[in-house]
Structure 1
Amino acid sequence: MGKPVTMDELAELRAGVSGVVYARGDAGLAHEARCFNTAIVHDPDVVVGARGADDIIAAVAFAARHRLPVFVQATGHGAFAPITEGVLISTRRMGGVSVDPELRMATIGAGARWGAVVDRASRYGLTPITGSSSHVGAVGYTLGGGLGPLARTYGFTADWVRGFTVVTADGRLVRASATEHPDLFWALRGGKGGLGLVVDMDLELVPLKRVYGGGLFYDSEHIEDALRAWVDWVHSLPDTVTSSVALLRFPPIDEVPENLRGRFALHLRFAFIGDERDGERLLAPMRRAAPAFLDLIGDMSTTEIDSIHDDRDQAGPAWDRGMQLTDIDQAFVTALLSRAGAGSDVPFIAIEIRHIGAGATRGASQDTAIGGAGSPFTLVMIGVPVPELFDSVLPQSSDYIVSGILPWIADETNINFLGHVASTQQFASAWPADAFSRLIETRTAWDPEGLFAYPAGPAGGIDG
């Protein structure tokens, strides 16, 4: 614990920061520290709303002098535990994005969302290898590896990073790349946090304008046929196809579109890099497997890729738990549906399975800290947004589902998919053992006093 911060010391910090500074009890702190996950309420000693690298350097120096831990947040999508001490640095004002079309490179500010990057890149016929949501912070997502709807073709987003600008624990502004501080560069691509505060990152872009993609929705009585067909179908697909499925329980509320309201459905997500005719041919087995009551698949601009998953973009309470899977088969489908299929009473609005491998697995051969790259599937359970269920009901219900699919659960996972973390052992499972050991060594080398709090409670406070 650090020593109490006096009013004079706060005044000195405010004088050295062009952004905003709030102390606990100030009227603006709650708004500045707000999360996308509204079930989490941060109340640190100090919040600094940074406008640039100089503000971050001043905030880090202040925290070091007062022996206060440092946390960082941009959009707050990665918040799973409240921050109740230290200095929280908010980077949401650092949202600048610039593109060099000749180098096919985007320089992305710490607070930028993917939507801004996609929009700017599209002006030059380029696209970033992004996530499923354009609303998520680009930097925090990439620090965890970044696994999106084009992953089987292009791999993890972190595979495309060419450099970071970072404020280190001793207040220096350094570059991390393949030729400058390569140990830090390795750790930042997949290590997630505890290494320094990223000011911006350079991301190589892909020359891509169109994708054949979207979603098919199967009603409750056709879920089993469609899911069984998907499990067989994905094993025959080329690397140019990335797909996923989600068991969705839509609540009967006005906010849900009428054609989905109150339904239990299977949502197939599909993205193909190629022309529409070949895409239709590849998708045909899933269109034949069972009737879809909603077919939203077709040729689309890369600016519309986030419509494939159609993730929510409104803040609200959130709970999820993720893991990765070994190769799945028909026995897996039987086990999963026996506990989470039609007629089951589980408190999850979505249970999603993503097919990765291919390009993502090839990325594992690169020298990055990305965890989970060797597993062919991910599974995430998203709980009903009722905070009263977060502490016991949802963990117990997720344990019930996990116990039925244990033979298919991989030993490691990815930190971006891990969700709520219950133990240090679970946190460490986000990386292979050798990578986790190397991360510890790198964090110690760059932050020997442990100024950058990571993980926090045990894995919150790191923006995603």
Structure 2
Amino acid sequence: MFSEIASKPLLSVGARGYRVPMPANPPALSPDLVAALASRVSGPVLTPSDEGFAQEVAGFNLAIPLIPDVAVGANSQADVVEAVRFAAANSLPLRIHATGHGTHHPISDGVLLVTRRLNAVSVDPETRIASIGAGANWADVTAAAAPHGLTGIPGSSVTVGAVGYILGGGLGPLARSHGVSSDWVRGFTVVTASGDVVEANAAEHPDLFWALRGGKGGLGVVTEMRLELVPLESVYAGSLFFAEEHIEAALRGWIEWSSSADDSVTTSVAVVNFPAFEAVPEPLRGRRVLTLRFAHPGDEAEGRRLAAPLRALAPALIDAIGVLPTSQLRLIHNDPDEPGNGWSAGALLNDLDQAFADALLAAVGPGTNSPVIAVEIRHMGAAAAHDVAGGSAVGGRDSGFTLSVIGVPDPSLFDSVLPAFHAGLLASLDEWVSPETTINFAGDPHDRESFESAWPPLIFERLDAVRRLYDPSGLFTYGPPAG
């Protein structure tokens, strides 16, 4: 049964990306300007009328239209430099696109720099450092690290760009045992708004290094990062699935259990409404279930001991927890790997109790009717609560849990129905919602207040200063405008 469940991507329960505002009157680009740029770039330079443009700019969320004035497909760091200098010289906003998971808002102007061709990954097994190109995803990193008995500390999806994920901090299936993913970065190569190439690490440009570990965007184009890997070949991990009649008992039991959970164990729960599609495994097809994800970076005997209280919460419809190679960490959450329409939103939560369970079950529990595929809660704390030496720009470390809402992938629901449901859910959970979030779980922070709440005030102020220092003209359009 584990292989049947593991082989089928089931759903996505991670909030993605951030909003970028649109300039009111973007400058026109003449064919001569575009031709001049193309003569200096080895990769494709395409405008909306060119063949191949749609394929070049396509993102993971197909509901978001991406129609920049010009798309530059970088083949090299030199191409990135040329694109940045071109955008600056022509007063065009520049946005960066690797795998396309980070786009929540339409793009209708400027330069879209596509970095997916910069996907080289190399591993030094002696130092355990992986050098990761701007366009590499977690599957690329895993493929390079696994032969050496090493793993990165990834997110839940292997198709997410490694650099983009890390820039937002990153809370994955090993967060409690190994911390926020960006804590493992040891350096970045960055093209700044001036078109200069700089190294950002603990010794060089430490202010930029601090900001890039959790500050997300508006700082430059990362062309490569150096990430420390972990010597870990297997974990005891996977998922339990509880049928609808056991959702309440399993959710309440997990909340109670999490208050004293071992720091080595990372778990999450999601109430999922599986569609009646043939691609969904038969035991889950057309059913509402609670899935409980579990990960322990240790041996099977200890893993079984730690998982036993969760297995005892209620009879499991499916028990898919077992020894899992770290090369297969993606199977814990089993996110989809094909593009499609998507809507998600998120928040962070403080400590939970049974009154929280009452409110959540009233919204998405058995017998309810809502326009969502899933509502997921991830347990934070333990190692994820502790910042690295020298500090980082990661927001939300003091919160206890994450909340993600994944809407039915029907674009007709995206503008009003799903936002209204999410607002109502947050209102019902207001007692437990943290005043701050973290940028990878913020969904689309469409106003300045929600954008700033992705970081504690002191971190946001410092981030704002670093952005203004390295990008004084706001070339790297990022976040809703102030004022």
Matches within 5 A, 1:392-411: 392-411=416-435
Question: For each residue in 1:37-86, what CA deviation from the matched residue of structure 2 results, as whole angstroms up to 9, or x when unmatched?
Answer: 00001001110000111001001111111110100000011110011110
**In 2, are the aligned partners of 1:159 and 1:366 still within 8 Å (CA)?**
no
Is the CA contact (8 Å cut-off) linking 2:176 and 2:264 kept in structure 1? yes
| Distance (whole Å) between structure 2 residues aligned to residue 62 and residue 328 of structure 1 | 50
Structure-2 change in CA distance of 1:418 and 1:90 (3 Å): same
Instruction: Please state whether the residue corresponding to 1:396 is helix, strand or coil.
Output: helix
- One-letter amino acid matched to 1:171: G
Residue aligning to 2:249 = 225
Partner Cα separation in structure 1 for residue 480 and residue 457 of structure 2:
20
Asked if structure 2 preserves the Cα contact closer than 8 Å seen for 1:364 and 1:374, the reply is no
**Structure 1: where are the runs of 5+ without partners?**
459-464
State the match for 2:140 in structure 1: 116
Deviation of 1:400 after TM superposition, in Å, equals 1.6
- Matches of 2:446 and 2:199, distance apart in 1: 34
Aligned pairs for 1:290-305 (under 5 A) are 290-305=314-329
The answer on 1:56 being equivalent to 2:101 is no
- Partner residue of 1:343? 367
Aligned residue type for 1:402: L
Moved more, 448-457 or 90-99: 448-457
Q: Secondary structure at the match of 2:258?
A: helix
Which residue of the partner structure matches residue 173 of structure 1?
A: 197
Q: What is the letter of the counterpart of residue 245 of structure 2?
A: E
Which of 369, 374, 380 aligns to 2:393? It is 369
Q: Tell me whether 1:259 sits opposite 2:252 in the alignment.
A: no
Q: Which residue in 1 is equivalent to 2:404?
A: 380
Contact preservation (8 Å) 2:448, 2:480: no
Contact 2:26–2:109, Cα closer than 8 Å, also in 1 = no
**Mapped pair 1:421 → 2:441:** no
Give the Å deviation of 1:236: 1.9
Report matched runs for 1:259-298 at 5 Å.
Answer: 259-298=283-322
CA–CA separation in structure 1 for the residues paired with 2:475 and 2:48: 20
Instruction: Tell me which residue corresponds to 2:459.
Output: 435
Partner of 2:207: 183
The counterpart of 1:3, out of the listed 27, 34, 39, is: 27
Measure how far apart 1:312 and its partner are: 1.1
| Distance in 1 between residues matched to 2:326 and 2:348, nearest whole Å | 27
User: How many residue pairs get matched?
Assistant: 458
Is the 1:19–1:49 contact (alpha carbons within 8 Å) kept by the matching residues of 2?
Answer: yes
Q: 1:360 to 1:103 in 2, by over 3 A?
A: same
RMSD: 1.2
Equivalent position of 2:45 in the other structure: 21
CA contact 2:347–2:433 (8 Å) conserved in 1: yes
- 1:143 equivalent in alignment to 2:129: no
- Mapped partners of 1:328, 1:42: distance in 2: 39
* Structure 1 CA distance for aligned equivalents of residues 390 and 107 of structure 2: 34
Map 1:316-331 onto structure 2 (within 5 A): 316-331=340-355
Per-residue deviation, residues 90-111 of structure 1 (Å, max 9, x unmatched): 0010000000000000000000
Q: Which amino acid aligns with 1:275?
A: D
Give the Cα separation in 1 of the matches to 2:364 and 2:282. 24
1:243 maps to amino acid: T
Determine the structure 1 residue equivalent to 2:218.
194
In 1, Cα distance between equivalents of 2:240 and 2:429? 25
Tell me by how many angstroms 1:392 deviates. Answer: 0.2
Cα deviation, 1:412-441, whole Å, max 9, x if unaligned, reads 111101112231111111000111111111
Higher alpha-carbon deviation: 28-37 or 365-374: 365-374
Query: Do the aligned residues in 1 keep the contact of 2:373 with 2:406 (CA within 8 Å)?
Result: yes
Counterpart of 2:181 (choices 149, 152, 157) is: 157
Secondary structure, aligned partner of 1:36: coil
Distance 1:111 1:364 in 2: 26
**Residues 438, 345 of structure 1: CA spacing in aligned structure 2 closer, same or farther, 3 A cutoff?**
same
Moved runs in structure 1, 4+ residues, more than 6 A?
Answer: none
- CA distance in 1 between counterparts of 2:34 and 2:175 reads 45
Deviates more, 1:336-345 or 1:87-96: 336-345
Tell me how far apart the structure 2 counterparts of residues 92 and 456 of structure 1 sit (CA, whole Å).
Answer: 26
| Cα offset, 1:25, TM superposition | 1.9
Q: CA deviation at 1:7?
A: 1.5
Deviation track 1:226-260 (CA, whole Å, cap 9, x = no partner) reads 01110111122221100000000001122222221
Percent identity over the alignment is 53
SS of the residue 1:284 aligns to: helix
> Match for residue 212 of structure 1?
236
Cα distance between partner residues in 2 of 1:54 and 1:2: 26
Q: Name the structure 2 match of 1:462.
A: none
Q: Report if aligned partners of 1:340, 1:401 keep a CA contact under 8 Å in 2.
A: no
- Alpha-carbon separation, structure 2, partners of 1:457 and 1:116: 35
**1:430 aligned partner, one-letter code:** A
1:127 aligns with 2:151: yes
| CA distance in 1 between partners of 2:26 and 2:251 (Å) | 53
Tell me if structure 2 keeps the 8 A contact 1:244–1:269.
yes
The one-letter amino acid paired with 1:43 is I
The question of whether the paired residues in 1 share the 8 Å contact of 2:167 and 2:214 is answered with yes
In structure 2, C-alpha distance between the alignment counterparts of 1:43 and 1:273, rounded to whole Å: 44
Whether the 8 Å CA contact 1:142–1:158 is kept in 2: the answer is yes
Deviation, structure 1 residue 4: 2.0
Trace 1:68-79 onto structure 2 (pairs within 5 A): 68-79=92-103
Aligned partners of 1:343 and 1:185: how far apart in 2? 49
CA distance in 2, matches of 1:363, 1:275: 27
**Preserved contact between residue 20 and residue 48 of structure 1 (Cα < 8 Å):** yes
Secondary structure in structure 2 of the residue aligned to 1:297: strand
TM-score for both structures, normalised by structure 1: 0.97
Shift of 1:362: 1.2
- Pair 80,117 (structure 1): closer, same or farther in 2 beyond 3 Å: same
Instruction: Encode CA deviations 1:321-374: one digit per residue, 9 max, x unaligned.
Output: 100000001111011101211111111101000001000001367510001111
Q: What secondary structure is seen at the aligned counterpart in 1 of 2:431?
A: helix
Unaligned regions of 5+ residues in structure 2, if any?
A: 1-24
